[in-house]
């Protein structure tokens, strides 16, 4: 049994790594590099690392200071949310991820799901904010960490996607006013960095709001992110619309479908499918870009990490801290990418063209 396996391994190696002298040479170099890098890393992370103790213990050791992560994880993940009622953001995040998990099956995409999302959003807002049903109120300013990052990015995606669809349709519209508005919107928003939009939302927007209407900074940042994402999303979707042959439009017209019937039943289902990879690409980019809200002092995941690093008694463990958030970001981004590949396969089933 073992001999068969080693034989298989041998032929696999020969075929994939050592097929030609040049390939063998490259393989040997790469294997050496991987070995040289990963062995010290594993040594640092797992063997020499300090799992419990104080900063002083960490400084004596050569390895990673995981005690720092243990100490600061709560703050990095949840910011200044009151410690006694931490279960509320935890439950919120779990509910949220659970709902995403539930929503990932295309056969569940209907109006009911939309309603469930609305209800869940309300429930999460209630859990986070409190103030009724005997829940202690927590000011929005104290929200932070993972719930904030998830909220900014996923609510951003949730709203910017349909908005992007309308903008893309508008930009291809034959009505000059609608078309002009969409072109100006998209070009204007794409023409400025997200940071400047966030600044505007945090500093300038309050001047334009009617007296007495005070929107929390978080909400203003959320709006800025939605506005920004929508411009990018619309260009991706416009690419999809342009890829649909003219004949599809004509066939729909010829059958007497109205504009909205034509778009929702014929054109968009095909166009959105074509642009799944760039759409998810944009979403992943936006997910990471939400960390820019730290510029207006919102405590998203990256900002809480930075603040954790400023703790005077735990100075000097930035590698561990950034590695920790990197892993969290990676888990979400990687899942999105993997999910998009699955969707592509699913939507192409049965369709050969």
Partner 1 sequence: MIELKNINKWYGDFHVLRNVNLKVEKGERIVICGPSGSGKSTMIRCINRLEEHQEGELTVDGILLNNNLKNINKIREEVGMVFQHFNLFPHLTILDNLTLAPIWVKKVPKELAEKEALEYLDRVQIADQANKYPGQLSGGQQQRVAIARSLCMKPKIMLFDEPTSALDPEMVKEVLDVMTDLAKEGMTMLCVTHEMGFAKEVADRVVFMDAGQIVEENNPDEFFSNPQHERSKEFLSQIL
CB of 350 to partner 1, least distance (A): 5
CB of 160 to partner 1, least distance (A): 24
User: CA-to-CA distance for 42 and 69, rounded, in angstroms?
Assistant: 17
DSSP string, 267-294: IHHHHHHHTHHHHHHHHHHHHHHGGGGG
- Comparison of 83 and 246: residue with beta carbon closer to partner 1: 246
Cα radius of gyration rounded to whole Å, the chain: 25
- Comparison of 201 and 252: residue with beta carbon closer to partner 1: 252
Are the C-beta atoms of 45 and 51 separated by less than 8 Å? Answer: no
Question: Could you identify the residue written with the tokens 């040289």?
Answer: 36
DSSP string, 19-78: SSHHHHHHHHHHHHHHHHHHHHHHIIIIIS-B-SS-HHHHHHSSS-BHHHHHHHHHHHHH
CB of 115 to partner 1, least distance (A): 23
CB of 351 to partner 1, least distance (A): 5
The footprint of partner 1 on this chain (CB under 8 A) covers a number of residues equal to 22
3-state SS track over 155-193 = HHHHHHHHHHHHHHHHHCCCCHHHHHHHHHHHHHHHCCC
- Comparison of 134 and 254: residue with beta carbon closer to partner 1: 254
Q: Residues 116, 129, 179, 273: which binds partner 1 (CB under 8 A)?
A: 273
- Comparison of 265 and 315: residue with beta carbon closer to partner 1: 265
CB of 352 to partner 1, least distance (A): 4
- Comparison of 16 and 258: residue with beta carbon closer to partner 1: 258
Q: At what angle do helices 176-190 and 217-243 cross, to 10 degrees?
A: 120
Q: Does an H or E element contain 329, and which?
A: helix 318-348
- Comparison of 251 and 326: residue with beta carbon closer to partner 1: 251
Residues 6+ away with beta carbon under 8 Å from 170: 178, 179, 181, 182
212-271 positions binding partner 1, by CB under 8 A: 245, 247-248, 250-258, 261, 265-266, 269-270
Are the C-beta atoms of 339 and 104 separated by less than 8 Å? Answer: yes
- Comparison of 66 and 267: residue with beta carbon closer to partner 1: 267
Give the distance between the most distant pair of CA atoms in the chain: 81
CB of 313 to partner 1, least distance (A): 60
CB of 117 to partner 1, least distance (A): 25
- Comparison of 10 and 269: residue with beta carbon closer to partner 1: 269
Q: What's the token pair of residue 313?
A: 């008694």
CB of 157 to partner 1, least distance (A): 23
- Comparison of 15 and 349: residue with beta carbon closer to partner 1: 349
Q: Please give the C-alpha separations between residue 48 and each of 38, 39, 44, 45, 51, in angstroms, as whole numbers.
A: 14, 12, 5, 7, 10
Length of the chain as a residue count: 353
Asked if 176 is part of the footprint of partner 1 (rule: CB under 8 A), the reply reads no
104-133 positions binding partner 1, by CB under 8 A: none
CB of 178 to partner 1, least distance (A): 16
Spell out, one character per residue from 332 to 351, where the chain touches partner 1: x when CB under 8 A holds, - when not.
------------------xx
Q: Which residues bind partner 1 (CB under 8 A)?
A: 245, 247-248, 250-258, 261, 265-266, 269-270, 273, 350-353
């Amino acid at each position: 049994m073992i001999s068969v396996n080693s034989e298989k391994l041998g032929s696999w190696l020969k075929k994939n790594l050592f097929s030609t002298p040049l390939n063998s040479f490259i393989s040997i170099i790469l294997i050496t590099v991987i070995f040289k890098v990963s062995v010290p890393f594993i040594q640092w992370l797992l063997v020499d690392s300090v799992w419990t103790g104080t900063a002083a213990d960490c400084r004596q050791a050569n390895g990673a200071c995981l005690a720092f992560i243990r100490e600061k994880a709560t703050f990095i993940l949840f910011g200044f949310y009151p410690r006694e009622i931490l279960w509320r953001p935890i439950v919120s995040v779990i509910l949220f991820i659970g709902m995403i998990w539930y929503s990932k099956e295309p056969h569940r995409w209907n109006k009911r799901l939309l309603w469930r999302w609305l209800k869940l959003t309300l429930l999460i807002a209630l859990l986070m904010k409190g103030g009724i049903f005997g829940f202690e109120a927590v000011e929005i300013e104290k929200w932070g960490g993972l719930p904030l990052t998830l909220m900014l990015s996923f609510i951003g995606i949730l709203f910017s996607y349909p908005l992007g669809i309308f903008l893309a349709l508008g930009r291809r519209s034959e009505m000059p006013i609608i078309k002009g508005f969409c072109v100006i919107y998209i070009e204007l928003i794409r023409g400025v960095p997200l940071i400047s939009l966030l600044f505007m939302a945090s500093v300038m927007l309050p001047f334009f709001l009617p007296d007495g209407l005070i929107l929390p900074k978080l909400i203003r940042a959320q709006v800025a992110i939605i506005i920004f994402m929508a411009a990018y999303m619309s260009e991706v979707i416009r690419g999809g619309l342009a890829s649909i042959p003219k004949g599809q439009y004509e066939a729909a017209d010829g059958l007497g479908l109205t504009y909205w019937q034509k778009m929702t039943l014929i054109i968009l289902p095909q166009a959105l499918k074509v642009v799944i990879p760039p759409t998810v690409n944009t979403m992943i980019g936006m997910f990471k870009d939400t960390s820019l809200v730290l510029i207006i002092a919102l405590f998203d995941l990256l900002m809480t990490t930075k603040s954790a690093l400023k703790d005077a008694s735990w100075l000097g463990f930035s590698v561990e801290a950034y590695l920790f958030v990197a892993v969290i970001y990676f888990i979400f981004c990687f899942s999105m990418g993997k999910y998009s590949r699955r969707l592509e396969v699913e939507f192409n089933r049965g369709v050969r063209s």
